[in-house]
Amino acid sequence: MDDSVLEALVIENKSKIVLLVLDGLGDIPDAARGGRTPLGAARKPNLDAITPGSALGRILPVAPGITPGSGPGHLALFGYDPIQVVVGRGVLEALGAGMPLQRGDVAARANFCTIDPQGVVVDRRAGRIASDVSAKLVEKLAKETGRIDDVEVILKAGKQHRFVALFRGPGLAGDVTDADPHHEGVPIPDVRPLDESAAGQKTAHIVNRFVARAKDVLQREKVANAALVRGVSARPHFPGYLERFKLRAAAIAAYPMYRGVAELAGMSVLPVGDTPADAFALARERWNDFDYFFIHVKATDMAGEDGNFDAKVAAIETVDAALPALLALEPDVLCVTGDHSTPVPAKAHSWHPVPVLVHGHLCGADHSPQFNEKSACAGSLGDLRSRDLMAVLLANALRLDKYGA
């Protein structure tokens, strides 16, 4: 269904919706654990208490077989089509680095490399130099390239050889090629605009100047003597929660990437501590200021990425232990799910559908004794695209008018 059809049905009321995202929640049965998943194995008495009265189901973040990154995974949960609404690599990297983006900003992923005297790239990652060494190079580079024409250049060091380059100035665009040959043995290519626009031409010119300046600044450095730039992209602008859903939305997320994506969706991003207890306490504190709360928990995904079953169980149990504070707020609709699966045996994001639980007075109780991948598969919500979950939550909050007479 076209977004505009949904948005035309949105009505306002006093209800409160909470979307509690356990990042990477979904998993696959682990034979070594009796075929259980971390969600199935976790002791979660508080979640168990509301599960029989909840509707269960599964969500598919992008499409069958597609493993989503964190950007598309969250955009879909926020009700955007992750194929249509694209956030560029550079922008995601900047958001993940906690760099506030203004409208018109262009961001890129960058990293140090080594080139030979003829300018040929000999090591695209400069031997994966240590983060602290790299940070000093970024500092030096930033000092020497503070401004190119009317464009401010803001750099932020990342892990090892990586850093983020942010270009802020009038008339920039994201549609340019990479200053990165993507393999060794050739020189760094010039950046070219992908269209005829003046903004593309200007951006290509600025990025090329930046790459040239980096060569100058770094020429006497031993560990890295040049920089590559890729994934140049403009901060996207699309209608946010207030405009689309008439919801005053708050994001309670400790990690920059999720704060950034939530900010793109028009949420108010609240400063918060690291634990679920911190997050729920903040929700309580700001309960009257918002209609919708996106609460993000990172630990489940990290445990999945580490292939650590017990750590993922513990992360879920920590959320459950803190849950009474959230339940005490009596949200009209509570949804517990993930942005994607990060199965312990995969040690990475995956394409598997993600279990979802929706609790509300008209959700249609499934009377399932437990919330896990298997019960979710049999749940009354069925299999949904993640981007359709938002409509289900609005419906449960009685925030959608009837379609047609």
Q: Which residues bind a copy of itself (CB under 8 A)?
A: 1-2, 5-6, 9, 28-29, 31, 35, 53, 58, 62-73, 82-83, 86-87, 89, 92-93, 96, 343, 345-346, 349-353, 361-367, 373-374, 377-380, 382-385, 388-395, 400-405
- Taking the least distance from each CB to a copy of itself, the nearer of 64 and 185 is 64
Query: Would you say 199 or 249 has its CB closer to a copy of itself?
Result: 249
Distance of closest approach, residue 21 Cβ to a copy of itself, in angstroms? 16
CA-atom Rg of the chain in angstroms = 23
Which lies closer to a copy of itself via its Cβ, residue 57 or residue 169? 57
What are the residues facing 176 on neighbouring strands?
Answer: 193
Contact criterion met (CB below 8 Å) for 310 and 344 = no
Q: What is the C-alpha to C-alpha distance for residues 363 and 348, in angstroms, rounded to an integer?
A: 32
Q: Closest CB to a copy of itself among 82 and 174? A: 82
d(CA 333, CA 101): 31
In the complex, the smallest distance separating the C-beta of residue 395 from a copy of itself, rounded to whole angstroms, is 4
CB of 299 to a copy of itself, least distance (A): 20
Smallest gap, in angstroms, from Cβ of residue 86 to a copy of itself?
7
Cα–Cα distance measured from residue 378 to residue 373, given in angstroms and rounded to the nearest whole number: 9
Q: Which CB, 29 or 104, lies closer to a copy of itself?
A: 29
Using the minimum distance from each CB to a copy of itself, give the nearer residue, 202 or 235.
235
Question: Minimum distance from CB of 139 to a copy of itself (Å)?
Answer: 25
Please report how close the Cβ of residue 262 comes to a copy of itself at its closest, in angstroms.
16
Name residue, tokens 């959700």.
Answer: 363
Tokens of 293: 């709360």
> Alpha helices, DSSP H only, in 174-292?
198-218, 241-245, 256-264, 276-285
CA distances from 212 to 178, 226, 352, 379, 391 (A): 14, 8, 44, 57, 49
In the complex with a copy of itself, the residue whose CB is nearer, 93 or 105, is 93
Q: How far is the CB of 288 from a copy of itself (least distance, A)?
A: 26
- Least spacing, CB of residue 196 vs a copy of itself, in Å: 22
Altogether, the residues listed in the chain come to a count of: 405
Q: What's the CA gap between 287 and 16, in Å, rounded?
A: 9
Which positions ≥6 away from 15 have C-beta within 8 Å? 291, 332, 333, 397, 398, 399
Q: What is the dihedral of CA 129, 135, 137, 141, to 10 degrees?
A: 140
Task: Indicate the residue among 268 and 308 with the shorter CB distance to a copy of itself.
Answer: 308
Residue nearer to a copy of itself on the CB measure, 60 or 133: 60
Q: Which run of H or E residues covers position 335? A: strand 333-337
Q: How far apart are CA 182 and CA 228, in angstroms?
A: 9
Q: Quick one: which H or E segment has residue 386? A: helix 386-396
> For a copy of itself, which is the closer residue by CB, 82 or 200?
82
Q: Burial, 44: exposed, middle or buried (Cβ in 10 Å; 0-12, 13-18, 19+)?
A: buried
Q: Least distance (Å) from a copy of itself to the CB of residue 120?
A: 26
Looking at the Cβ atoms of 55 and 315, the one nearer to a copy of itself is: 55
Minimum CB–partner distance for residue 138 and a copy of itself (Å): 20
Q: Are 260 and 254 in contact (CB under 8 A)?
A: no
Smallest distance, Å, CB 370 to a copy of itself? 16
Residues 227-253 as b or e (16 or more Cβ within 10 Å = b): bbbbbbbbbeebebbbebbebebbbbb
